Amino acid sequence: MDRVKKMRVAAIVTVLLFALVAAAGFASRSPVVMSFHQERRVAVIRVTGPIVGGNSDPVSLGGSSGTTSGELMRQFRKARKDDSVKAVLLRIDSPGGSAAATQEAAQELQRLKDAGKPVIVSMGDTAASGAYWLAAYGDKVFANPSTITGSIGVYISYYDLQGLSQKLGVSEEKIKSGAHKDIFSPFRPMTPEERQITQTMVNDMYNQFVAVVAKERHMEEPAVRALADGRVFTGEQAQKAGLVDAMGNYYDALAYAGKLIDADPDKVPTVAYTEPVSWQQLLKGDLSVFRFIQSAYGAENNIPLPLLLMKRGWQH
């Protein structure tokens, strides 16, 4: 067999293998197959990177490396409606992000808790600011001794480009409907009145943050305010301050969640909700072949392709 024929055969085999793997993966995630998985499980939901608003596609190439409020709300709702899920493990490795995005995700997290499903939090490297806002909802919060957490507070930033624009000979002209319509313009100084308006907004959001921490952590507001000056804590410091419950890594938190559902702490059944993908995304170039196969099998991590191809069926 000459070289050209060998290449053709190899290409055909690759395509067939890919089709079989994808078909098997999607079949294993179909409602018919999933209906047999009625054992008590823990839903694992991850908050990774900055928390932002919107509902970006997490599997598209060039997408956001953070977590969107849309993704979190969707996963919280699925966990709430999934009868096999009896507890949720919220794994957080995030510096925080948008207050509004965090808040709307937190509303769905509260509804999940109201449905009687306990939330266990596992902090990774960082769980600060808005990420701690979410962590505060945990019924049991685990952190590593060196986790960076806390940073309870709010800020609004803007740029002052007046010096640069003057050097470049650039000026801004505008016609506005009200005195404060361009309150954050980088080409003019903020007036004392506008500074007070902005400070009032920040104070309002800050008070909301403090109220959440006080309520969910069962602390008095004055005690929370004493900690809520924007400072960060290590995991050990946060535990002493009452912001964290226990020291432990991801598997310690998973084992604790497993005990809540009467599962073997070393073999806790879990489920993760990945975004569905389609052949259209693959054909349009919005999705890599590897990510398509990953989604077909529900693989949450970057499993090497050879191992992924050897993976037998859907595992929880």
Per-residue b or e along 295-308, where b marks 16 or more CB atoms closer than 10 Å to that residue's CB: bbbbbeeebeeeeb
Task: State how beta strands 148-150 and 119-128 pair.
Answer: parallel
Contacts of 15 (CB under 8 A, 6+ apart): none
Contacts of 141 (CB under 8 A, 6+ apart): 120, 121, 123, 135, 243, 244, 245, 246
Distance CA 217, CA 139 (A): 9
Closest CA to 18 of 315, 300, 262, 308: 308
Annotated catalytic residue 174: no
Annotated catalytic residue 122: no
180 burial type by CB count under 10 A (0-12 exposed, 13-18 middle, 19+ buried)? middle
Closest CA to 120 of 282, 301, 268, 221: 268
Choice among 181, 240, 259, 284 that is catalytic: 181
Tokens matching residue 303: 């499993």
Choice among 94, 122, 129, 185 that is catalytic: 129
> Mind telling me the catalytic residues?
129, 181
